Amino acid sequence: MADRTQIQEAIKNQGEVVRKLKAEKASKEQIDEEVAKLLELKAQLGGDDGKHQFVLKTAKGTRDYNPKQMAIREKVFNTIISCFKRHGAETIDTPVFELKETLTGKYGEDSKLIYDLKDQGGELLSLRYDLTVPFARYLAMNKITNIKRYHIAKVYRRDNPAMTRGRYREFYQCDFDIAGQYDPMIPDAECLKIVHEILSELDLGEFRIKVNDRRILDGMFAVCGVPADKFRTICSTVDKLDKMSWEDVKNEMVNEKGLSEEAADHIGEYVSLQGGMDLAERLLQDQKLSQSKEACAGLSDMKLLFSYLQIFQVTDKVVFDLSLARGLDYYTGIIYEAVLTQVGVVPAPVSTEAQNGAAEETVSVGSVAGGGRYDGLVGMFDPKSRKVPCVGVSIGIERVFSIMEQKAEASAEKVRTTEVQVMVASAQKNLLEERLKLTTELWNAGIKAEVMYKKNPKLLSQLQHCEDSGIPLVAILGEQELKDGVVKLRTVATREEVDVSRAALIEEIKRRTSEI
Amino acid sequence: MADRTQIQEAIKNQGEVVRKLKAEKASKEQIDEEVAKLLELKAQLGGDDGKHQFVLKTAKGTRDYNPKQMAIREKVFNTIISCFKRHGAETIDTPVFELKETLTGKYGEDSKLIYDLKDQGGELLSLRYDLTVPFARYLAMNKITNIKRYHIAKVYRRDNPAMTRGRYREFYQCDFDIAGQYDPMIPDAECLKIVHEILSELDLGEFRIKVNDRRILDGMFAVCGVPADKFRTICSTVDKLDKMSWEDVKNEMVNEKGLSEEAADHIGEYVSLQGGMDLAERLLQDQKLSQSKEACAGLSDMKLLFSYLQIFQVTDKVVFDLSLARGLDYYTGIIYEAVLTQVGVVPAPVSTEAQNGAAEETVSVGSVAGGGRYDGLVGMFDPKSRKVPCVGVSIGIERVFSIMEQKAEASAEKVRTTEVQVMVASAQKNLLEERLKLTTELWNAGIKAEVMYKKNPKLLSQLQHCEDSGIPLVAILGEQELKDGVVKLRTVATREEVDVSRAALIEEIKRRTSEI
């Protein structure tokens, strides 16, 4: 363990790094990242003077949401939840921790990223890693065979955070899943329709939804001569195609993973293909690929999927892309991923693997949603291994937050963090009781109203507060107004003032704020 | 060493390898070799057949929320959040875990109930125990001296769960706090106004809000001859008066806590007192109590508080009760607690201490909200000990859920778990595409619509689904309707059917569902 002098030395060096970056006018992200390291080092030094010397920080890889961020978050959630509800989804919630064994064996290598709770006696517990495994546990436990549900909640991964790029150890997942034995591809198509609706409504710019099928991938690997035990690892290399050139991908396959060059070249031909229903039809005729029963089943379903997507009017954004290879082991059929294609809006290259319920995969720049079919997962929990077919999608909501926050930053319009309609104010002294009385009337009538907690606040500071927090109206009381039974109603934006009788005030405020 | 689940996982993977090799008609040697590995793995498991044997449960003291419970939860949250917003509150969010040291020393004895995370390298973390300490940390960390915020989130306590009585290890807290240096008792009064509004709107039956002041309690203990180092422990005994007789409380004070009988009897006289502003005035004249400067300050503020409560029109429910003694160390001024008084509605005696942000205290039957002023907590986090005065209230939301669930159970009215307005159905075969087409039109128009994921579902099962989930309308398509360009719109409740032209359908559905 490092001793104090070592840490102090490290702090000095790190301080130097920060100073240099600032002098060089490096990017804000870069500076922030180095400052974070510096603060962490300082935190290690901890309390020296015996006094409670709290390290004032949140845990590594986590953040608070301030009121402005919460206002944006609420708006995004409302859009997404409205869509889920439009499609008839119910919602459930599960505990933040599960029995450790519930999570074990579901995430492959990434199990090391699971947060365990300390053994304090009793059960061994872990924080949930995604919402899909708890969902499967819930279905098996309650013997539910049919449900359409959404679940928006935080999940936890001890990953290397890159917070400036929207990657956290605590982050939201926003999942919609359809469980049940149905006719093929109808629920799958609805998931894609939902992605289309949500991304359109969030207005994040141009996007594309790539689809593929686990069975097509496996069939392709088989006919290209990939040994069965290398399917998964080759699959995860293919998945890097959106970030690496084909040469690099091939190199990894051949030199790191020991695939024959011939097999790699075969794969290379397939994974360059993109199209729609036509491509599925063409591949069904492909001499090699059609030899795989699995691939054929996947391709036929792909055709069917596109026929439904046409009806749902979403084929403009959907592309059948053989290079899409999401990493999670539990996918059994169709898989998909939505990416933003307008790179301008997007921050620096971002890996959002953490956000899309994807574990081993690496995700392209701008990935904002992903999912697929997983027909075997619920069966892993059922004592009799009864299967409940499932298909679902996860919205990469943290990415969406980042983009919306950037947009808000760039826009002239102010993000309001309260919904207050009117401030009850006074220009004169000794009117606290009258202000409170009027505020009570307004609250009791359902009006969102604020009053300063001061006996004699200055009018200017009351008006300033309205400017700062975007309160549109001020109800001003004075001796004269009280005598006349009126209130001076001021519009903050225009500074217009008009006397309104106390009896008509509530209606007038409602009328004015419904216009805004 | 590998544990069972790891071995089971390995067995699964190895089984996969063997199956694939067989499917590929690999050489016998190759298959045999892999089968041998598989058998060896199974042998490691010992006696049983190596099938995954999961314990299907949630962690002790936690529960899932099913869709019905979520629908109730959403309704309750909406009521509460509306009230918070009406009073101009912003919202923030903090991570589910904090640095362990952030929580240390805030909860007295109950610190043993804190969930720690396993040390997996890096920081030592604990799950939050309430929302108040993270709030104070947030204020100090961001140097915020003024904020009115609410925070609704789950907190964690390794308590002995009594789930049938609404006590969990993971449960919601629902906090509203006002931080800032203001004129006395105005924000305090607003907190009580908020409790009054929320409990009235939730319609939980009769309630009473007890108020007291930490300074009055301490002054009372002082003038009754309680040694200063026994204030806290005697306070927590007093707090039991709503569940125990005075004799038992006195017995505990004298025999367990070593208080003199005389002091106990003195206390007994005071804690039997209840009243309003009049009582505060009377006690200011009390020969003994008026000797305590602290008590006098508390009593004067109590008078002022009641004057604001009168303006806020909530004195009908508020009672100054000298036996109220909330246990948390951090309270410095006024304290309060709301109790339901209509015992009929309430389940068996419930201690909701876990829900009200109260640690050491024990709470009366039917307690549904509590809080108080804590002027010192933020200063504990500030490197320069700068104080930020705070007052807040926590709604005992889990109790509210339990009562609402019971009410829903008892009521004839069904709790809807979706908001679907219309089901797109068909009585005839081969109309899947037409159903999907119409559903798309409805979705695109913002109508909440469902369609069965079957090619040819029976009309009866489609109608049954509407009955089951409370969908009010069915849009029925048939060959004839398609020819005529109409849809048969059926009202589920009355079974009335009427032909509506496709062009008018969306308006008609909107009209009908806005009436419901």
Looking at residue B162, the DSSP 8-state letter turns out to be B
Distance in angstroms between the alpha carbons of the first and the last residue of chain B? 62
d(CA B258, CA B251): 10
Beta-sheet strands, E only, within B324-398: 334-340, 367-373, 390-395
Once rounded to an integer, what is the mean pLDDT over residues A277-302? 96
Q: B462, exposed or middle or buried, with CB in 10 Å at 0-12, 13-18, 19+?
A: buried
Which residues from chain B sit within 8 angstroms of residue A95, using beta carbons? 58-59, 62-64, 170
Is the four-CA dihedral B325, B328, B330, B336 of positive or negative sign?
A: negative
* Integer CA distances (angstroms), B127 to B95, B113, B355, in order: 9, 10, 16
Mean pLDDT of all residues in chain A? 88
* B344 within 8 A of B204, measured Cβ to Cβ: no
Residue A469 has pLDDT above 70, yes or no: yes
Q: What is the pLDDT of residues B365-406, one digit of tens each?
A: 478 999 999 999 999 998 888 899 999 999 989 889 988 988
Once rounded to an integer, what is the mean pLDDT over residues A70-95? 97
Disruptive mutation site among B37, B311, B377, B506 for chain A (greatest number of A CBs within 10 Å)? B311
| Structure confidence at residue B54 (pLDDT) | 63
Q: How many other CB atoms are there within 10 angstroms of residue B252's CB atom?
A: 19
d(CA A148, CA A137): 15
Q: Which two tokens stand for residue A348?
A: 């620096």
* Integer CA distances (angstroms), A61 to A31, A368, B121, in order: 16, 20, 14
Residue A457 has pLDDT above 90, yes or no: yes
CATH architecture group of domain B422-514: 3-Layer(aba) Sandwich (3.40)
> With bands split at pLDDT 50, 70 and 90, how would you rate the model's confidence at A211?
very high
* A90 within 8 A of B67, measured Cβ to Cβ: yes
B116–A141 C-beta distance less than 8 A:
no
Looking at residue A51, the DSSP 8-state letter turns out to be S
Residue A3 has pLDDT above 60, yes or no: no
| Structure confidence at residue A65 (pLDDT) | 96
| Structure confidence at residue A454 (pLDDT) | 95
Option in B65, B87, B90 nearest A67 (CB)? B90
| Structure confidence at residue B42 (pLDDT) | 65
| Structure confidence at residue B457 (pLDDT) | 96
Is the four-CA dihedral A400, A403, A408, A411 of positive or negative sign?
A: negative
> With bands split at pLDDT 50, 70 and 90, how would you rate the model's confidence at A47?
very low
Which residues from chain B sit within 8 angstroms of residue A62, using beta carbons? 95, 97
- Contacting residues for A180 by C-beta, under 8 A, at least 6 apart: A145, A146, A147, A187, A388, A389, B453
Task: Name the range with the highest mean pLDDT among A233-242, A310-319, B108-117.
Answer: A310-319
* B94 within 8 A of B134, measured Cβ to Cβ: yes
Which residue has 């699964």 as its token pair? B12
pTM of the full predicted structure?
Answer: 0.85
Give the residue on B whose Cα is nearest the Cα of A183: B454
Q: B375, exposed or middle or buried, with CB in 10 Å at 0-12, 13-18, 19+?
A: middle
- For residue A118, give the nearest of A127, A109, A130 by alpha carbon: A127
d(CA B101, CA B103): 5
A447–B56 C-beta distance less than 8 A:
no
| Cβ under 8 Å to B: A residues 483-512 | none
Distance in angstroms between the alpha carbons of the first and the last residue of chain A? 60
Residue A295 has pLDDT above 90, yes or no: yes
Which residues from chain B sit within 8 angstroms of residue A71, using beta carbons? 90
- Contacting residues for A291 by C-beta, under 8 A, at least 6 apart: A223
Which residues from chain B sit within 8 angstroms of residue A389, using beta carbons? none
B450–A88 C-beta distance less than 8 A:
yes
- Contacting residues for A24 by C-beta, under 8 A, at least 6 apart: none
CA distance B294 to chain A (A): 24
| Structure confidence at residue B111 (pLDDT) | 86
Residue A362 has pLDDT above 80, yes or no: no
Option in B9, B70, B190 nearest A105 (CB)? B9
Residue A299 has pLDDT above 60, yes or no: yes
| Structure confidence at residue A54 (pLDDT) | 62
* A95 within 8 A of B59, measured Cβ to Cβ: yes
* B240 within 8 A of B362, measured Cβ to Cβ: yes
What is the three-class DSSP state of A500? strand
Q: Which of A39-48, A243-252, B34-43, B153-162 has the lowest mean pLDDT?
A: A39-48
CA distance A391 to chain B (A): 13
Once rounded to an integer, what is the mean pLDDT over residues A17-28? 74
| Cβ under 8 Å to B: A residues 260-299 | none
User: How many residues make up chain A in this entry?
Assistant: 516
> With bands split at pLDDT 50, 70 and 90, how would you rate the model's confidence at A354?
very low
Which residues from chain A sit within 8 angstroms of residue B95, using beta carbons? 58-59, 62-64, 170
CA distance A515 to chain B (A): 18
AA letter at A307: S
What is the three-class DSSP state of A335? strand
Which residues of chain B fall short of a pLDDT of 50?
A: 1-2, 46-51, 344-365
* Integer CA distances (angstroms), A103 to A62, A97, A181, A306, B116, in order: 22, 10, 25, 35, 19
| Structure confidence at residue A281 (pLDDT) | 97
Which residues from chain A sit within 8 angstroms of residue B128, using beta carbons? none
Residue A81 has pLDDT above 80, yes or no: yes
| Structure confidence at residue B516 (pLDDT) | 57
Helix (H) or strand (E) holding B148: strand B147-156
Chain centre to alpha carbon of residue B175: 9
* Integer CA distances (angstroms), A104 to A25, A361, B4, B54, B483, in order: 46, 19, 10, 10, 56
| Structure confidence at residue A167 (pLDDT) | 77
Q: How many other CB atoms are there within 10 angstroms of residue A278's CB atom?
A: 11
| Structure confidence at residue B257 (pLDDT) | 93
- Contacting residues for B93 by C-beta, under 8 A, at least 6 apart: A64, A65, A70, A73, B151, B153
Disruptive mutation site among A39, A52, A181, A218 for chain B (greatest number of B CBs within 10 Å)? A52
Judge if A67-343+365-410 and A422-514 fold alike in CATH terms.
no
Option in A62, A70, A182 nearest B95 (CB)? A62
> What are the sequence ranges of the domains in chain B?
4-44, 67-343+365-410, 422-514
| Cβ under 8 Å to A: B residues 43-62 | 51-60, 62
Helix (H) or strand (E) holding B243: none
Please give the CATH number for the structural domain made up of A67-343+365-410.
3.30.930.10
Q: What is the pLDDT of residues A145-199, one digit of tens each?
A: 999 999 999 999 998 877 666 679 999 999 999 999 999 999 999 999 999 999 9
d(CA B6, CA A360): 18
Option in B122, B154, B453 nearest A183 (CB)? B453
Option in A60, A88, A119 nearest B420 (CB)? A88
